């Protein structure tokens, strides 16, 4: 097809499209003019029923209150302390999460999951030295924890500006990643960026 015919075809399609839009607008306008009392009715929700998001928030707050009551009744209830800490972690309330998690760690100092929660809190509070200390404690318990090595690499590289230390941690993360292919790839990518400098 020549350029002239292609241009003519495009113009024809464009004119048909514009004509169709104008026709729809005209019909709609005429319909509105002939039916001036046309109204849209909005069905209101019952005022007694809270929106779904609010219901979930209220349920979450009720659970927090219940857990706090359990901890007040029994300050050594590790399960309640852990659940309370995890709920605050999900809310990104780092200070609030840290208190019950640290109490739980005092009761179960070798609990790696609790220590990881404490490390997350310190990291998000930008208390990187404390986070590194907690991650070091985890490695004393589980010396091949690839995710802990990766987290230490991230802190060393981005927060503490210690590239040589970060390289070491990323190498160990990649080495111990095992079946966690995604973690291994992330660690190797971080290592490449450090080695290319």
Structure tokens at 4: 């002239």
**Is the pLDDT confidence value at 4 over 60?**
yes
Cα–Cα distance, 121 to 112 (Å, whole number): 14
Average pLDDT of the residues of the chain: 84
Q: Given this structure, which CATH class describes domain 53-127?
A: mainly alpha
pLDDT at 80: 94
Over residues 147-151, the mean pLDDT reads 97
Q: Is the pLDDT of residue 124 over 70?
A: yes
Is residue 153 a contact partner of residue 169, using CB atoms and an 8 Å limit?
A: yes
- The number of residues making up the chain comes to 197
Decide if 135 contacts 151 (C-beta within 8 A). yes
- Asked whether the predicted pLDDT for residue 42 surpasses 50, the reply is no
Structure tokens at 45: 């929700």
Residue 33 is predicted with a pLDDT of 57
Helix, coil or strand: residue 197: coil
Of the given ranges (20-24, 119-123, 184-188), which has the lowest mean pLDDT?
Answer: 20-24
Residue 181 to residue 187: CA distance in whole angstroms: 10
* pLDDT-based confidence at residue 118 (cuts at 50, 70, 90): very high
How far, in Å, CA of 87 to CA of 63, rounded? 9
What is the sign, positive or negative, of the torsion defined by CA atoms of 159, 164, 165, 170? positive
Q: How confident is the model at residue 97 (pLDDT cuts 50, 70, 90)?
A: very high
Query: What local confidence, expressed as pLDDT, does residue 40 receive?
Result: 45
Which pLDDT score, from 0 to 100, does residue 17 have? 59
What percent of the chain is modeled with pLDDT above 70?
70
CB atoms within 10 A of CB 184: 18
All structural domains of the chain with their residue ranges: 53-127, 144-197
Mean pLDDT, residues 171-175 taken together: 97
> Residue holding tokens 């003519």?
8
Q: Please check the confidence at residue 46 and state whether its pLDDT lies above 60.
A: no
């Amino acid at each position: 097809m020549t350029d002239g015919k292609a241009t003519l075809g495009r113009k024809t399609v464009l004119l048909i499209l514009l004509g169709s839009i104008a026709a729809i607008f005209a019909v709609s306008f005429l319909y509105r003019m002939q039916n001036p009392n046309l109204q849209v009715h909005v069905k209101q929700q019952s005022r007694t029923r809270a929106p779904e998001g609010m219901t979930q928030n209220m349920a979450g707050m009720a659970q927090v209150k219940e857990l706090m009551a359990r901890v007040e009744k029994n300050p050594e209830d590790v399960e309640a302390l852990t659940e309370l800490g995890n709920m605050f972690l999900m809310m990104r309330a780092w200070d609030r999460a840290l208190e019950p998690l640290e109490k739980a760690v005092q009761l179960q100092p070798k609990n790696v999951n609790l220590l990881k929660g404490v490390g997350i809190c310190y990291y998000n509070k930008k208390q990187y030295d404390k986070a590194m200390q907690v991650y070091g404690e985890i490695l004393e318990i589980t010396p091949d924890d690839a995710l802990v090595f990766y987290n230490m690499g991230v802190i060393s590289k981005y927060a503490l500006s210690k590239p040589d230390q970060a390289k070491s941690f990323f190498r160990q993360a990649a080495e111990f990643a095992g079946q966690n292919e995604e973690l291994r790839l992330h660690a190797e990518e971080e290592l490449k960026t450090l080695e290319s400098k």
